[in-house]
A and B are shown apart, each in its own frame.
Chain A
Amino acid sequence: MTAPPPPRRSQTRARDLERYASLFAKRTRVMRSSAMRDMMEITARPEIISLAGGLPDTSTFPPEAFAAEMNRITKTAVAEVLQYGPTEGLDIVREQIVKVMAAEGMRIDAMDVTVTTGGQQAIDLITKVLIDPGDVLICDAPTYPGAISTFCSYEADIVQIECDADGMRMDLLEQTLDALAARGRKPKFIYSVPTFQNPGGVTLSLERRQKLVALAREREILVVEDNPYGLLRYEGDSLPTLYSLDGGNYVVYLGTFSKILSAGLRIGWIVSPTPIREKVVLGKGASDLCTSTLTQNFAGEYFKKDRWQEYVADLVGIYRSRRDAMIGAMSEYFPHGATWNKPEGGLFIWATMPDVLDTSDLLAKALGKGVAFVPGTSAYVDGRGASSMRLNFSGVKEDEIIEGIRRIGEVAREQLGLYETMTNTNEMRLPPRPQDPGEETDQ
């Protein structure tokens, strides 16, 4: 018996494209250039050391724990996990989310939780229900590149507030809010990753947390607190989340299991006041009806047992060593004038090269040496960040981290050396500007 021919995509022809071009919504216009996206394609090749991802290390998850959960599901819940579930999520997961959030000092009601398909859908849904095209929203500068894509797809007017070592600068935030108010505008929400920020690695100080929550109350502005990394703290004392400082009035909380259990399960959540939750559930229903009941079932049972905290503790140990390996390598190999932070937790280090270096160009050279990172411009909407880069230390083993940083340092030094050669030699003999009359004729 011969197999049926494989299904084919219909051929897209140039004329078809021309026809569709006028149909695309404005929001489909992506921010990043296609050339850059193509360049990132080669990070998928196995020989590339990729410090570009945001991947948790799932290699240490015990296979027997996975098998045990799946066995239990097979024996007790096959019909259920093959079926649709409630849009807001299964109760067994919502109850465990209450527990996981309690581990970070938050007290919530399971009824306020909407389970989402990963943290990315949480960002998507909250933007979907709050943002009309042209609405202002505020976020960190730099901010999570994946959030920019979402905000752009809803045609938000994105205003970024500069961060320093203590996170988003509240003085600038206040100035911006005042300036917006003077023009009769008010942001729909302030999006922030206050703890171990992606991509900056910085943590909002307690004082600023209190200030932000107070501002939100005074001015009646929602704050969307995205907290994927809060439990991954490698040193220092935990700070209260914005949610716990505010009590859930003006702070909407986004969480995820991606970094403390598995990104592949695609389970995140939103904790929000009831009126927002109702809209979010409507929005989610329209998007995907429900999050996978199979993975919800898995997570619901997994978090019932206390070993989830042991696993997080294991991850913390692994990631701390990797962070330290990366920082050690940066001190040794990065060029004079480069700066970086030492995050107390999370997955990322933000490094800034001397400002003559453009990290998009540097990436091209680095890829040639088999190492990748995320250029800083992807964390801004206005082209800033050109000399910065985001480096991930969670997804790569220590020896590879060190080798990757060594290679980035090498290409950065090469480029800086070249630039110095050109500018030093040239300093006294800059060519005449074209508007200088008469000087070009005798050359």
Chain B
Amino acid sequence: MKVALLQGGRSLERGVSLRSGARVAEALLDLGHDVETLDLGPELVGRLESYRPDVAFIALHGTEGEDGTIQALLELLGIPHTGPRVAACQRCMDKSLAKYILRENSIPTPDWVTYSEAAIRDFGAASSFQQATAKVGLPLVAKPASQGSSLGVKVVTRAEDIPGALMTALSYDSRALLETWISGRELAVSVLGDQALPVVEAIPTENNAYDFEARYEIGAASFVCPAELSDEETDEVNRVALAAYNALGCSGFSRVDLILGEDGPQVLEINAIPGLTETSLLPQAAEAAGFEFEAMVEKILDLAT
């Protein structure tokens, strides 16, 4: 098959995307496909039209690659692509919208408040921080509405730190969430097709419960797959994760991040196009399910629509 591999892009996750892309390219070549690697730029559509791929493999993360921009373009050009389609990408990329949809579908997700920069700047929304704190409690997590990685995420333990944390979050997007901080085990369920892959648990190796940055460092968190959960817990986590995946309209593959607290699993976010690097969770989960990386890539390709 002729595969256009889209990687790089202009988002802050360009680096991850290039690593994902490099790995996928090797796998596609080994599988015997004809591969054209494309970065995002002015010549993108021209090159897609001259190459005329059978399918586009999207190894992009963050804005433009994961938010439906590229998906919409490919769908317009009539090129099937991997991963979720436009609307699902948009729903996942917008953490606030995603949480509304989860709530409407009775899927548990922590309480939250969304602030837009405009509301704070122009409508005096800062006067409502008191109500926001009352709703979500402390500690809370401030995060940009649309970043995939840990960038811009801060845990707030004191109300007076909310402005600083919001300013940080709003450096990465024009909207930010204040979300209840839930104490619990951090789990990720990757979904491939309609199958939930074995649960991955991220366990911080040091005492850095509030340090979101640290857990993305190699060595600062260890990943256990399959996570050590009881059968009932696993079933419940998978049920919630699949419900979230379906509620947001995902297809192909995606990753659902959850926290398993005292009240059972709650969905934090859904990554439409999770990382495919050596340390990424989807490849780990796929491997635990018996898919070697190449087999996983082939499966993702088969699921392209």
Contact = CB atoms under 8 A, between A and B. Distances in A.
Nearest to B286: A14
Given A42-B14, A440-B134, A443-B131, A21 B218 contact: yes
B63 to A, nearest CB: 9
Most chain B CB within 10 A, of A24, A415, A422, is at A422
Interface stretch (B49-57, B144-152, B241-249, B252-260): B144-152
Contact of A35 (B129, B216, B219): B216
B100 to A, nearest CB: 22
Given A14-B287, A425-B124, A426-B163, A35 B171 contact: no
Interface residues of B, number: 58
Contact of B167 (A13, A21, A29, A422): A422
Interface in B8-39: 10-16, 18, 23, 26-27, 29-30
Interface in B147-163: 149-152, 158-160, 162-163
B127 interface: yes
Contacts of B164: 356, 419
Interface stretch (A141-149, A164-172, A360-368, A391-399): A360-368
A377 to B, nearest CB: 12
A41 B126 contact: no
A12 B278 contact: yes
Interface string B205-231: 000000001101111001001000000
Interface in A391-421: 415, 417-419, 421
A17 B294 CA distance: 17
A17 B279 contact: yes
Contact of B18 (A33, A41, A440): A41
A430 B161 CA distance: 10
Nearest to B284: A14
B292 A430 contact: no
B166 interface: yes
A183 interface: no
A37 interface: yes
A35 B154 CA distance: 14
A79 to B, nearest CB: 39
Contacts of B151: 35, 39, 364
B12 A38 contact: yes
Nearest to B16: A38
Given A14-B278, A41-B15, A361 B163 contact: no
B171 A361 contact: yes
Contacts of A418: 117, 120-121, 167, 170
B274 to A, nearest CB: 13
Contacts of B124: 425
| Majority secondary structure, A binding face | helix
A9 interface: yes
A430 B160 contact: yes
Contact of A21 (B11, B163, B219): B219
A15 B292 CA distance: 11
B202 interface: no
Nearest to B30: A8
B15 A24 contact: no
A24 B166 contact: no
Given A11-B26, A361-B167, A418-B120, A38 B14 contact: yes
A358 interface: yes
A38 B120 contact: no
Interface in A34-86: 34-35, 37-42, 45
Contacts of A358: 168, 171
A421 B125 CA distance: 9
Contacts of B225: 14
Contacts of A12: 278
A415 B150 CA distance: 20
Nearest to B292: A13
Contacts of B217: 29, 33-34
A438 interface: no
Contacts of B293: 11, 13
A429 interface: yes
Most chain A CB within 10 A, of B162, B167, B278, is at B167
Given A365-B171, A418-B170, A34 B218 contact: yes
Contacts of A430: 130, 159-160
Contact of B12 (A24, A33, A367): A367
Given A9-B26, A37-B15, A364-B172, A14 B163 contact: no
B172 A421 contact: no
Contacts of B109: none
Interface string A292-328: 0000000000000000000000000000000000000
A426 to B, nearest CB: 5
A434 interface: yes
B172 A417 contact: no
Interface string A244-259: 0000000000000000
B283 interface: yes
A433 interface: yes
Given A13-B293, A21-B219, 5 more contacts: A422-B129, A423-B163, A425-B124, A434-B159, A443-B131
Closest 5 CB pairs of A and B: A38-B15, A41-B15, A361-B171, A422-B163, A14-B284
30 contacts: A11-B23, A13-B287, A14-B279, A15-B287, A33-B214, A35-B149, A35-B151, A38-B15, A39-B12, A40-B15, A41-B14, A41-B18, A42-B15, A356-B167, A361-B152, A361-B171, A362-B171, A418-B167, A421-B121, A421-B126, A423-B126, A430-B130, A430-B160, A431-B133, A431-B134, A431-B162, A433-B158, A433-B159, A434-B137, A443-B134
Interface of B: 10-16, 18, 23, 26-27, 29-30, 117, 120-121, 124, 126-127, 129-131, 133-134, 137-138, 149-152, 158-160, 162-164, 166-168, 170-172, 213-214, 216-219, 222, 225, 278-279, 283-284, 287, 292-294
